[in-house]
Amino acid sequence: MDADRKAIYENKAAETLAPELTKLSSKYDFQVVDLNSVFRNDWKKNRKAFDFGAFDSHWNAYAHNLVASFTAPSLDTEK
């Protein structure tokens, strides 16, 4: 699940749907990956933007690589 990147850039608390989605994931057997802490921790450390541009909030290459490196180990290819 994506994070409120604007709140992260501004060092503000962000609302998340993770608790509700986590409940649903248990009920319907799917996995939820909340990226809020991933983006927030990386922003604190590296200060590299995750957006494609000032007016385009799609992930840039840096964000895609960050998310891929975080989520790849959790993928279960045996299901």
Looking up tokens 């501004």 gives: 10
Residue among 73, 68, 75 at smallest CA distance from 50: 68
**Three-state secondary structure of the chain:** CCCCHHHHHCCCCCCCCHHHHHHHHHHHCCCCCCCHHHHHHHHHHHCCCCEEECCEEEECHHHHHHHHHHHHHHCCCCC
pLDDT value of position 78: 66
Q: What percent of the chain has pLDDT over 70?
A: 94
Q: Average pLDDT over the chain, rounded to whole?
A: 89
Q: How far apart are CA 56 and CA 15, in angstroms?
A: 21
pLDDT over 70 at 66, yes or no: yes
This prediction's pTM? 0.81
